Structure 1
Amino acid sequence: MAYPSQIGFQDAASPVMEELLYFHDHALMIVFLISTLVLYIIVAMVTAKVTNKFILDSQEIEIIWTILPAAILILIALPSLRILYLMDEINDPHLTVKAIGHQWYWSYEYTDYDDLTFDSYMIPTQDLTPGQFRLLEVDHRMVVPVEAPVRVLVSAEDVLHSWAVPSLGVKMDAVPGRLNQVAFIASRPGVFYGQCSEICGANHSFMPIVVEAVPLEHFENWTLSTLQDA
């Protein structure tokens, strides 16, 4: 969950998000070094300290500024491709949930269980209890087991939506007539908040996403109680 005056990302709650944070720091350091080098060269040339033939007209310097950017791109591309592969790989998910976007709420279908479906609406501000977050709380959370691969099939019924939970490192477009998929593993118990990240209409900012990760025993009890109440 984000906190006031936060500058960086939310705390990672999945292995993929941890990798994304590492890659962000890696790329940011490269950008910082490039910016420092370019700024130094500009200042040095303005102050006429390095304005000489080597800098202005040199075969060696042309070779350097051709090879160096290529090497930098390789340093960025390799970890990026690795993370893309990890995000796309879905091996034997323990649970499959179908998330369908509507104007303006989400509905969830647990395809591994019969008749386990429900709609998830935002709780109005006047109905919030102390400790709940405005514009983020929902009446029915998507509950998943901890440390279990979860596959989410994302689609929409009317217009474009986007199912995104920053702490879990997932963001997938919900397109009418199309079934996209995304996977994650919640590495710790907790409640993780997200929102529709596609401008889908007048109430776009009022269809939050809440994923609650619980131990397997609690998840089984929740499925039983939900099926009995259905």
Structure 2
Amino acid sequence: MRFAKTLSAAFFGFLAGGSAYAQEEALTSDLPVIGIPQPGGIAFQPASTSVAHDIHFLDNMLLVIITLIVLFVTALLVVVAIKFRASKGHEAARFTHNTTVEIAWTIVPVVILVIIGAFSLPKLFDQLEVPEADVTIKATGYQWYWGHEYPDSGVYFESYMLAEEDLAEYGYGPETYLLATDTAVVVPVGAVVKLQTTAADVIHSWKIPAFGVHIDAVPGRLNETWFRVDEPGIYFGQCSELCGISHTYMPITVKAVPQDEYDAWLAAAVERYADGGAPVTQVAAAE
């Protein structure tokens, strides 16, 4: 019964979004698509927030450290295999300890961990300490769609994955199938956005790779993080916590726009919601 209600809500959400085609396309057509997976890609998406830049830096630093360790261990194995090879029946050398080696393999890992901690812990705390926010967004996970609320403005809408045949009408290309939604989260470039997450049924996770944001949405709990987008664009993400049969079809679309365009979008969203002239699922983009 619950599954049928969810499918029904998604179906009527698609129908209700019809009059929002032109508005969504107008905002989408002027923005570059930045945060999107690439076929065969093995690297991160371009970093578009300070948090993402920090994550990329830490990843690159750790990659250098682990590469040096792997090369050292590999070289040591090769040297030992060659230097200490012997014929069958040869009596191996016997020793119980080596003080110098034991001190080295204790101190060196400690130093490496201290260096990693010195760089990583401040970045972790930066993500947890939310600065004074310019915009607050509350994301609620449902099986299997997202509800987004702007508490300071009284705006709430639900975001459903677009059907493949609807992408062009909303201004998206075919490569955004399974990523684009009928309504998008809109944020101003350069503004501090406080993101709150929760869930109505099971655990979900709100993730935008280009932002370096990955935060669980847990029923009965309100989690918080923040981000500040550096450049205008369209960014895609997904629910990243296995949440049921349609987990795959729970994308997130975020559009970062200049402040004046955000103000226009928010004014239109508030008016549309307050007037009751359109369902909340139609709150899309500024004209």
Q: TM-score, length-normalised on structure 2? A: 0.76
Which residue pairs with 1:197 in the alignment? 240
Which segments of 5 or more consecutive residues in structure 1 lack a partner in the other structure?
none
> Residue 148 of structure 1 aligns to which amino acid in structure 2?
A
> Residue 12 of structure 1 aligns to which amino acid in structure 2?
A
Q: Partners of 1:226 and 1:59 in 2: how far apart?
A: 70
Residues 152-167 of structure 1 mapped to structure 2, 5 A cutoff:
152-167=195-210
Cα distance, 1:56 vs structure 2: 8.1
Which residue pairs with 2:13 in the alignment? none
Instruction: Say if 2:120 is the partner of 1:80.
Output: yes
What is the DSSP-based 3-state SS (H/G/I as helix, E as strand, rest coil) of the residue aligned with 1:136? coil
Residues 1-230 of structure 1 mapped to structure 2, 5 A cutoff:
1-48=36-83, 57-114=97-154, 116-129=155-168, 131-132=173-174, 133-230=176-273
CA change 1:121–1:15 in 2 (3 A) is: same
Q: Number of paired residues? A: 228
After superposing on structure 2, the runs of 4+ consecutive aligned residues of structure 1 that deviate more than 3 Å are 49-53
Q: Partners of 1:50 and 1:27 in 2: how far apart?
A: 34
> Residue 69 of structure 1 aligns to which amino acid in structure 2?
P
Tell me whether 216-225 or 121-130 shows the greater mean CA deviation. 121-130
Which segments of 5 or more consecutive residues in structure 2 lack a partner in the other structure?
1-35, 87-91, 274-287
CA change 1:33–1:56 in 2 (3 A) is: farther
Larger Rg: 2
Cα distance, 1:156 vs structure 2: 0.5
> Residue 19 of structure 1 aligns to which amino acid in structure 2?
D
Tell me whether 122-131 or 195-204 shows the greater mean CA deviation. 122-131
Asked if the contact 1:136/1:194 (under 8 Å) is kept, the reply is yes
What is the DSSP-based 3-state SS (H/G/I as helix, E as strand, rest coil) of the residue aligned with 1:47? helix
- Alpha-carbon displacement from aligned partner over 1:25-64 (angstroms, at most 9, x marks no partner): 00110000011111111100000169998x9852111111
Q: Partners of 1:135 and 1:66 in 2: how far apart?
A: 49
> Residue 152 of structure 1 aligns to which amino acid in structure 2?
L
- Alpha-carbon displacement from aligned partner over 1:135-154 (angstroms, at most 9, x marks no partner): 00100000000011000110
Structure number with higher helix proportion: 2
Which residue pairs with 2:89 in the alignment? none
CA change 1:12–1:50 in 2 (3 A) is: farther
- Using the aligned pairs only, state the percent identity: 39
> Residue 159 of structure 1 aligns to which amino acid in structure 2?
V
> Residue 22 of structure 1 aligns to which amino acid in structure 2?
F
Cα distance, 1:229 vs structure 2: 2.1
Asked if the contact 1:44/1:50 (under 8 Å) is kept, the reply is no
What is the DSSP-based 3-state SS (H/G/I as helix, E as strand, rest coil) of the residue aligned with 2:83? coil
Q: TM-score, length-normalised on structure 1? A: 0.94
Q: Higher relative contact order by CA 8 Å / sep ≥ 6: 1 or 2?
A: 2
CA change 1:66–1:102 in 2 (3 A) is: same
Cα distance, 1:2 vs structure 2: 2.3
